[in-house]
Amino acid sequence: QVQLLESGGGLVQTGGSLGLSCTASGRSLSSFAWGWFRQAPGKEREFVSAIKWSGEVTDYADSVRGRFTISRDNAKNTVYLQMNSLKPEDTAVYYCAADATRFSRGILNYDYWGQGTRVTVSS
Picking from 94, 79, 103, the residue whose alpha carbon sits closest to that of residue 30 is: 79
Over the stretch 43-83, which tens digit does the pLDDT of each residue have? Answer: 999 999 999 999 899 999 999 999 999 999 999 999 999 99
Query: Can you tell me the mean pLDDT for 101-119?
Result: 96
**In contact, 60 and 49? CB cutoff 8 Å:** yes
What is the model's pLDDT at position 17?
Answer: 98
Q: How confident is the model at residue 94 (pLDDT cuts 50, 70, 90)?
A: very high
What is the model's pLDDT at position 112?
Answer: 97
What is the model's pLDDT at position 37?
Answer: 98
What is the model's pLDDT at position 121?
Answer: 98
Separation between Cα atoms, residue 4 and residue 15, nearest integer Å = 28
